[in-house]
Amino acid sequence: MKRTITVQKGIKAAAALALCAAFMIPACSGSALALETTDTGVRVRDPFVLEYEGTYYMYGTGLAPNGNGYGCVTGTDLKNWSEPVKVCEPAGSCDGEGDWWAPECHYYKDAFYLFATYRSAATGKRGVAIFRAADPLGPFEIITDGHVTPKERDAIDGTLYVDQDGQPWMIYVGEWTSNEDGIGDMMAAKLSDDLTAFISEPIRLFRATDGRRSSGTITDGPFLYRTKNGRLLMLWSNIDPNGYCVRIAYSSNGRIDGRWRQQPGALYQQTKRHADGGHGMLFTAPDGTLTLAIHSPNFGDEQTPTTAVFVPVADIGATLIEQDENHFFTRLFLRFYYALMKLAT
């Protein structure tokens, strides 16, 4: 009897999800923003914002004066920004020769840690290394033995996540360029307490093509966030028919090693009212608004350059949506979706 009930529950949940997908998914895909986004005017890709003692520090690809290494701009109101300053020069075990991509600065155990990508002169591969400083403006010095990610494979976009047990992890992209089928992976590995090395073998969390709504083959820009009701989400970027976008994956058990599923639709994508964009992360604005930072458009030009753009979002408990009080059906659909997924499992 118990088996019959379980099967019937699964069939009902699947049927409800199918109806939901057929009739309601468009409501949460590509909806226009009602609240004003902020184009910072800062020409940068892969922006990452750290607030520390009332100052906002924005790191990103292309901010380092004279090219090599990593740079940062600072501000207090998210509108007026300083000129870029270099926070990290290649030295020591950093054998970088190019592709100075996606620096992220994390405050961890009374120090600042830069997780950043570069191409190795020794291997020709891109990978992620970790740098440390006593100040958010550096100077940052490398603390890993070159790339901490596997040196024989291309890996990019490392980010820090500290789990509920206090264990630090690096979540990173297993780049499509190192996979025979050309499909990117999202990977994770435990870090030592001092963040100098992996202490576990990397595990695959998901592939770019996992889930019906993921059409592109790239995985970009992971960022972990726990919602008000405890669900563990990952923001990541992919390509849909309209261009670069920010998607949401979620863990089935609220932990890194859970089964990662793809939420339908996208948190941010191109619409008639705004360009495509991605490589998202979250921070809190001075007025307390939860804010998504992206670069947009993905392929800019002199007339429409690629800049850091800030988008207000809302934590509705189950997940994140654009902060738009008119998105009634989006909210309804996502709450219904997560309730059904809970029933299905």
The least confident of 23-27, 76-80, 245-249 is 23-27
In the predicted structure, residue 314 carries a pLDDT above the cut 60:
yes
- Arithmetic mean of pLDDT, 201-230: 89
Sheet-wide strand order for 232-240? 220-226, 232-240, 243-251, 260-262
pLDDT band at 173 (very low <50, low <70, confident <90, very high): very high
CA distance 130 to 140: 9
- Arithmetic mean of pLDDT, 26-39: 51
**What does pTM read for this prediction?**
0.87
Q: Which amino acid is at 140?
A: F
- pLDDT reported for residue 217: 92
- Give residue-wise pLDDT tens across range 101-120: 999 999 999 999 999 999 99
- Give residue-wise pLDDT tens across range 315-335: 999 899 887 655 666 666 676
Strand pairing partners for 226?
A: 232
CA distance 86 to 40: 19
190 by Cβ neighbours in 10 Å (0-12 / 13-18 / 19+) ranks as middle
- Arithmetic mean of pLDDT, 162-189: 97
Domains of the chain: 32-326 (2.115.10.20)
CA distance 58 to 102: 11
Cα-Cα-Cα-Cα dihedral of 88, 92, 97, 99, to 10°?
-40
- Arithmetic mean of pLDDT, 298-325: 90
